[in-house]
């Protein structure tokens, strides 16, 4: 569940009417309405810095929105965290929609893996955006952990459908949990050891696993 | 890499000379020297509350050590985090020593899994102690993320040895990474969904996986 620059549909971006006036230390998030820009910036900055270290001013700066304007849309950091979770949910919906255009469940699951592998450098720097957020929200008492769980459940449900379509009717849920757990865990290790190749190697192993499940499905069907 | 109450060797505990004078909201950590008690309490409280929300006073209370005494051993919270990482390292050394007493690599890996499954209720509440700490330390700039990586590398190296002993000479490292990633990931999902049964189901799947690798090793050897 990372933001891929390549294989996924991007939101329609209106070109900037003039060169960006204020260079900053991180790339600016995609253009759009101020609310959407703030939500996308919140997702990005929370991924880079974590919930505890992030201020509303950090998010305003990344979104290129004057700090005074932010309070018109979001009164508290919790509301910005919620907006970031919503941005993750929308990104995931776009990703699933793109994957569903592929012909077979095997193609779809392997394209999901390919997206994860593509993002291995970012994962080595900051971990999985939703996974590291889930870990942080667990230690807070704002109730947002369960909002994020709802988003992660969408990915689990989708993966379960794919395994079911591969012919794994009795253990589709278990295989979906195993796949998402492997991704979450390898994200954590890739980040802990700052080693993007860990993600690449594990991704290839999971590709072979999906191929072998698909072959079994063919031999059964 | 969780603290099991059952299958692992406990450090020698000197019995308290009198009943504990101050009841607190969480169980007190094992007796011992004040420094060791503070380190064990730091590991426990950081697991429950996370690094950001934990104060030195919280750790002093859990260790049943007067706050004024803590500063004799630890000047800063960073030093207490480092002591907690050291407590994790010592716990892991004890666990590995207990596992190494088992006759076969298959037994050893399955006993590691059994310990993880035993701890599923605690994992559902707070995640993996070292995994959630790794995720938090990534967002901090105290350099302690690399200290924790050193501890996690010990477990990876040990698991690699076991797969090698199972006859997997060419991909032992890859399988070790896959096993630890699966554990880290299922800990995160178990915690996110507050569902201990996720850990139990994935643990049983990993047990079957280890059995199948061992069977392959036998048929090759």
Q: Which residues of A touch B200 (CB under 8 A)?
A: none
ipTM reported for the complex, 2 dp: 0.86
Q: Which residues of A touch B184 (CB under 8 A)?
A: 184-185, 188-189
Residue B13 lies in a domain: no
The dihedral over CA atoms of A8, A86, B198, B126, expressed in degrees to the nearest 10, equals 130
pLDDT at position A55:
95
pLDDT at position B141:
85
Contact B167, A198 (CB under 8 A): no
Residue B6 lies in a domain: no
How far away is chain A from the Cα of B50, in angstroms, using its nearest Cα? 6
How far away is chain A from the Cα of B37, in angstroms, using its nearest Cα? 23
CATH number at residue B141: 1.10.357.10
Digits of tens for pLDDT over chain A (221 positions)? 444 434 343 333 343 333 343 434 455 555 679 999 999 999 999 999 999 999 999 999 999 999 999 999 999 999 999 999 999 999 999 999 999 999 999 999 999 999 999 999 999 999 999 999 999 999 998 889 999 999 999 999 999 999 999 999 999 999 999 999 999 999 999 999 999 999 999 999 999 999 999 998 766 54
CA-wise closest residue to A85 among A1, A180, A168: A1
Residue A159 lies in a domain: yes
The whole-angstrom separation of Cα B48 and Cα B78 is 17
Residue B64 lies in a domain: no
pLDDT at position A22:
42
Nearest CB to A181: which of B145, B153, B185? Answer: B185
Domain enclosing residue B160, as ranges: 102-220
How far away is chain A from the Cα of B8, in angstroms, using its nearest Cα? 24
In a mutational test of the B interface, the residue from A138, A144, A198 whose CB has the highest number of chain B CBs within 10 Å is A138
Residue B73 lies in a domain: no
Helix, strand, coil share (%) of chain B residues, nearest 5? 70, 0, 30
Q: Which residues of A touch B186 (CB under 8 A)?
A: 177-178, 181, 185
Phi and psi torsions of B169, nearest 5°: -75, -35
Residue A139 lies in a domain: yes
Residue B27 lies in a domain: no
Q: In Å, what is the CA distance from B187 to each residue of A65, A154, B117, B151?
A: 38, 18, 10, 18
Residue B106 CA, distance from chain mean position:
21
Q: What is the DSSP string of chain A?
A: ----SSSSPPPP-PPPSS--SS--SSPPPP-S-HHHHHHHHHHHHHHHH-TTT--HHHHHHHHT--HHHHHHH-SSHHHHHHHHHHHHHHHHHHHHHHHHTSSSHHHHHHHHHHHHHHTHHHHHHH--HHHHHHHHHHTS-SSHHHHHHHHHHHHHHHHHHHHHHTT-TTTHHHHHHHHHHHHHHHHHHHHHTT-HHHHHHHHHHHHHHHHHHHHHHHHH-
Q: For chain B of 221 residues, list the mean pLDDT of each consecutive stretch of 10.
A: 41 38 48 88 96 95 95 94 96 98 98 98 96 93 92 98 96 98 97 97 98 82 43
How far away is chain A from the Cα of B153, in angstroms, using its nearest Cα? 9
Residue A8 lies in a domain: no
Alpha-carbon dihedral sign for residues A179, A184, A189, A190: positive
Total domain count for chain B?
1
Q: Check A152 against B189: CB less than 8 A apart.
A: yes
pLDDT at position B98:
98
The whole-angstrom separation of Cα B142 and Cα B133 is 13
pLDDT at position B189:
97
pLDDT at position A20:
40
pLDDT at position A216:
87
């Amino acid at each position: 569940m990372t933001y891929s620059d390549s294989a996924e549909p991007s939101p329609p971006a209106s070109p900037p009417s003039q060169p960006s006036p204020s260079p900053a230390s991180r790339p600016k998030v995609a253009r759009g309405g101020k609310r959407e820009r703030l939500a996308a910036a919140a997702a990005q900055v929370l991924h880079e810095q974590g919930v505890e270290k992030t201020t509303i001013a950090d998010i305003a700066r990344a979104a290129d929105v004057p700090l005074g304007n932010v309070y018109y849309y979001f009164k508290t950091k919790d509301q910005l965290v919620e907006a970031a979770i919503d941005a993750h949910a929308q990104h995931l919906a776009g990703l699933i929609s793109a994957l569903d255009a592929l012909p077979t469940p095997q193609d779809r699951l392997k394209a999901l893996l390919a997206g994860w592998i593509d993002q291995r450098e970012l994962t080595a720097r900051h971990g999985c955006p939703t996974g590291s957020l889930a870990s942080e929200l667990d230690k807070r008492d704002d109730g947002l952990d369960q909002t994020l769980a709802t988003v992660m459940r969408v990915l689990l449900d989708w993966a379960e459908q794919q395994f079911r379509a591969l012919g794994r009717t009795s253990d589709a849920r278990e295989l979906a949990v195993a796949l998402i757990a492997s991704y979450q865990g390898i994200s954590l290790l890739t980040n802990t050891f700052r080693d993007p190749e860990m993600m690449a190697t594990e991704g290839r192993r999971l590709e072979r696993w999906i191929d072998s499940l698909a072959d079994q499905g063919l031999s059964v069907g």
